[in-house]
Structure 1
Amino acid sequence: MLAIDTSTAHCTVAFGERRAGVVAPTGHAEHLAELIREVVPDMAAIERIVVGVGPGPYTGLRVGVVTAATMSLALGIPAAGVCSLDGLGRRLGDGVVVTDARRREVFAAQYEDGRRVTGPDVLPPAVVADRWPGVRVVGPAVQRYPELGEFAQLEAADLLDVPADLPVHPWYLREPDATPAP
């Protein structure tokens, strides 16, 4: 199974035990194909694709979702989506996973025994601290908001063990930052 996640600045892929990733706040489209070639020795070996569908920034999510859908069609194999926070949530066990939602907000979801019980929601960091006092908070958003907890990167490899039952459509949770010109 090939796993792809482009929901954060860390563009990452996994295929079996092989993993690759690059931290790039923009430009996932330029990196993703090369990362896939790096971890997949033979495209015919891919039997299924899982893709992190977000929440995350518009363009980054689009790159991963479109790549997964295109490969699924071209290779004639199934693809499914998974909440991008769920892989780290499963690894965390109990606590809250946060990623940067920009606009001084985070995407946050709470986990118990590795299963999502609330969220994801778009929240200011102060609300996360108030809503879950004393609860372990981890995720890439901690790099920007260190008062929240511990830094941890989302990894496509974590998605390999999460039930993938969402459609392959981006899960934005809010409108894009860009707006059409009048």
Structure 2
Amino acid sequence: MLLLALDTATPAVTVALHDGERVLASSGEVDARRHGELLLVAVDRVLGEAGRPLREVTALVVGTGPGPYTGLRVGLATAQAIGAARGLPVYGLCTLDGLAYATGLGEPFVVAADARRKEVYWARYADFRTRTSGPAVDRPGELPAEVAALPAAGAGARLYPEFFPGLRADLPEHVAAGALAALAAERLAAGEELPPPRPRYLRRPDAKVPTGYKAVTRG
């Protein structure tokens, strides 16, 4: 098994190569405006650092969000294009699950990512492998009190610490593709069927078709 993992659902552009047992190489850069510029460069860099050509990759796993429309689509489209060109399976995993896996926590906690518009994408976990609710999108002050009080990871929790009293500064801020790959490898080894790479859109996109056009007449 040689998994190529990537995620662009958050400001982090992250790529990793995993051989089923460990991460061989990884890359991560936080830049919310340059997903399209950075992703393929990162793929080339990771393959080069691992010393493994693309032809040896046996499957891809991509973060499916939730996340902003444009950034999320960059990762999904790239993974599907590589998969189609090489005839490889492409799996999708919830981005928040990858972030949760990286915490290694064995107790209940919450993951919150920045959703903009003064909202967060969040999910609740029983431990680093087990999601119990979500993902959902809400204003941080509207989360259930018992959820907000849990140990918290993610950029959304860091952005609104007044609403996440359990914020843990030692836990990851953004997802890392290495964790996403490790989670996928673990589930595949256990015989689980991973979901397809379908985006998790929890609200309508920011961009809208203009309305209220003025009629133009020729005199």
For normalisation by structure 2, the TM-score amounts to: 0.78
Number of corresponding residues: 182
**Displacement after TM superposition at 1:47 (Å):** 0.8
- Checking the alignment, whether the CA contact within 8 Å between 1:108 and 1:128 is kept in structure 2 is no
What residue is the counterpart of 1:10 in the other structure? 12
Structure 1 residues 38-92: Cα deviation after superposition (integer angstroms, max 9, x where no partner): 0013111211100000000000110000000000000111111000000121233
Please identify the structure whose Cα radius of gyration is greater: 2
Task: Calculate the aligned-residue CA RMSD, in Å.
Answer: 1.5
CA distance in 1, matches of 2:72, 2:55: 25
**Displacement after TM superposition at 1:166 (Å):** 2.1
What residue is the counterpart of 2:179 in the other structure? 158
What residue is the counterpart of 1:134 in the other structure? 149
Write the letter of the residue equivalent to 1:155.
Answer: A
CA distance in 2, matches of 1:23, 1:90: 19
What residue is the counterpart of 1:78 in the other structure? 89
- Decide whether aligned partners of structure 1 residues 133 and 10 sit closer, same or farther in structure 2, where only a CA change above 3 A counts: closer
CA distance in 2, matches of 1:91, 1:21: 14
CA distance in 1, matches of 2:149, 2:208: 38
CA distance in 1, matches of 2:13, 2:201: 17
Structure 1 residues 133-166: Cα deviation after superposition (integer angstroms, max 9, x where no partner): 5310110213422332135221111111224722
What residue is the counterpart of 1:88 in the other structure? 99
Q: How does 1:60-75 map to 2 (within 5 A)?
A: 60-75=71-86
Q: Which runs of 4+ in 1 moved over 4 A?
A: none
**Displacement after TM superposition at 1:126 (Å):** 1.1
- Checking the alignment, whether the CA contact within 8 Å between 2:72 and 2:199 is kept in structure 1 is yes
Structure 2, unaligned stretches of length 5 or more? 19-23, 188-192, 212-219
CA distance in 2, matches of 1:67, 1:34: 12
- Checking the alignment, whether the CA contact within 8 Å between 1:28 and 1:60 is kept in structure 2 is yes
SS of 2:143's equivalent?
A: helix
SS of 1:165's equivalent?
A: coil
Structure 1, unaligned stretches of length 5 or more? none
- Checking the alignment, whether the CA contact within 8 Å between 2:27 and 2:46 is kept in structure 1 is yes
- Checking the alignment, whether the CA contact within 8 Å between 2:16 and 2:177 is kept in structure 1 is yes
What residue is the counterpart of 1:176 in the other structure? 205
More divergent stretch after superposition (39-48 vs 86-95): 86-95
Q: How does 1:10-89 map to 2 (within 5 A)?
A: 10-16=12-18, 17-41=24-48, 42-89=53-100
More divergent stretch after superposition (135-144 vs 69-78): 135-144
**Displacement after TM superposition at 1:14 (Å):** 0.4
For normalisation by structure 1, the TM-score amounts to: 0.94
SS of 1:119's equivalent?
A: strand
